[in-house]
Amino acid sequence: MPDRVEAESPEAKRFLTAMRGLLAVPKSEISKKIARKRKKRVRQKTAKTQ
């Protein structure tokens, strides 16, 4: 893996951690949006049954 070779220098480590952080942020945002949609669907279903 190229990550291991790059991670030997401290600058590369910072860069890799920064990239991983940037990649992780959108995933959490997307999961939040999906969770909101699920909640809305559940609310609609409960409203219909009641």
For residues 5 and 15, the answer to whether their CB atoms sit within 8 Å is no
Per-residue pLDDT tens, the chain, 50 aa: give them. Answer: 455 554 568 887 888 787 777 776 677 777 888 888 888 887 777 776 66
- The CA R_g of the chain, rounded to the nearest whole Å, is 20
**Model confidence, pTM:** 0.34
DSSP 1-50: -HHHHHTTSHHHHHHHHHHHHHHHHHHHHHHHHHHHHHHHHHHHHHHHH-
Among 27, 6, 25, which residue's Cα sits nearest to residue 15? 6
